[in-house]
Amino acid sequence: MATAGWETEKDVATLVPQFPTGGSEKIIGLRGHTCLSADSKPAGATLITREHRQESLARAYILAMAGQVGLTCSLRDFDYGIDVTLHQVTVRTNPKTGRKRYVESGAALDVQVKSTTSAIVGDREVRYDLAVEAYDDLRDLRVSTPRILVLHVQPKDEHERLELSETGLTLGGTCYWLSLRGYPEVPNESTVRICVPRSNVLSEGSLREIVQRVSAGESS
């Protein structure tokens, strides 16, 4: 069905007239193109939880950044402390044919992803209450693959987390990274407050530098 000619809410309504909404009639859209928001989902429809929606956006941020840097990504099916593994890719040339082939180099970085709307963003650091179990996983010196925490600080208003226009897709919030390797044991039973420097933005440059250090045999 062609949708390029949608101009008004009435045009969209003709496509879904049988769906009574289960909440407010809030509409989000762009330049005359409208769609139903999470607040106006069809009655009886089921959405994933708010926490999973936040996590999906955090993963999308990491996958987009990794793709821009040129890394491959492995997403975990089950939660055993790591959510995403990033793999460095290198080019190998066949000495006989001269043919080049892109392959994983073996250098990898494990990432535990957290998304939040309640982190305290100060002038120099971001403060976040991390579960002690996650803290212990991330500070472990015995792991063979370096690991970092990536914290996606998202807008409180869910409608500001993803914005679409004809010129691009904007993902709201910022990802910060931190290596907790070698951090001390804490007596806390529930959470421990960590402080992430605001300069630790997960950017194309910072991610490339981290992976280069991992490739050189350094810990993250």
Q: 77-110, pLDDT tens digit by residue?
A: 898 999 999 999 999 999 999 999 999 999 999 9
User: For the domain 49-215, what is the CATH code?
Assistant: 3.40.1350.10
Can you give the pLDDT at residue 218?
A: 81
- Per-domain boundaries in the chain: 1-47, 49-215
Determine the average pLDDT of the residues in 61-66. 96
Residue 48 pLDDT greater than 60, yes or no? yes
Can you give the pLDDT at residue 68?
A: 96
User: Does the reported pTM lie above 0.85?
Assistant: no
At 39, the pLDDT band (50, 70, 90 cuts) reads: low
End-to-end CA distance of the chain: 49
Determine the average pLDDT of the residues in 98-125. 96
At 27, the pLDDT band (50, 70, 90 cuts) reads: very low
Can you give the pLDDT at residue 47?
A: 85
Helix then strand then coil, in percent of the chain rounded to 5, is 25, 35, 40
Residue 208 pLDDT greater than 60, yes or no? yes
Determine the average pLDDT of the residues in 43-65. 88
Can you give the pLDDT at residue 87?
A: 97
| Long-range pairs for 106-109: beta carbons < 8 A, 24 or more residues apart | 107/211, 107/214, 107/215, 108/145, 108/214, 109/85, 109/145, 109/146, 109/147, 109/148, 109/210, 109/211, 109/214, 109/220
Residue 10 pLDDT greater than 70, yes or no? no
Q: What are the tens digits of pLDDT across the range 135-172?
A: 999 999 999 999 999 999 999 999 999 999 999 999 99
d(CA 119, CA 218): 29
216 forms beta bridges with none
